[in-house]
Amino acid sequence: MLPPNHLDRLPVNFAELAVFKGSLAVFVFVHGRRGILCHIWVMEEYGVSKSWTRKYMVPMIWVWEGYFFGCTDNGELLIKNATGPVSIDPESPNQNILAIEDADWMGFTANSMESLILLDGGSKCKT
């Protein structure tokens, strides 16, 4: 159910799923002429495969697999690069260096999202 053409003819380094501004998103990191380019695809309507839209193409100096940690609530990408942990605003070329000495814990953080879907598929809650 990923975007049908999100990998077409691209030299893909790696891809990750994450929540971006409250929506499901796939982040595709590809090799470009001047470093890494991150394509951000967002599912506009959850569960509708035709609603995937490429929102941004964010240039980066480099990022390795395992060093993309997700996004902040306002949509900044959290990665670790040569300067250490940084946040990148996809709407501008701004990169903020985060003053965190040991960022290994960032890989163990997770976004949570509330859902009203019943796990057993029933229509009533059991008490």
- So where are the chain's domains? 12-103
Give the model's pLDDT for residue 112: 47
- pLDDT > 90 fraction of the chain, expressed in percent and rounded: 28
pTM of the model: 0.75
Close Cβ partners of 22 (under 8 Å, ≥ 6 residues apart)? 113
Check whether 85 has a pLDDT greater than 80: yes
Q: Is 63 exposed, middle or buried (0-12, 13-18, 19+ CB in 10 A)?
A: buried
Check whether 79 has a pLDDT greater than 50: yes
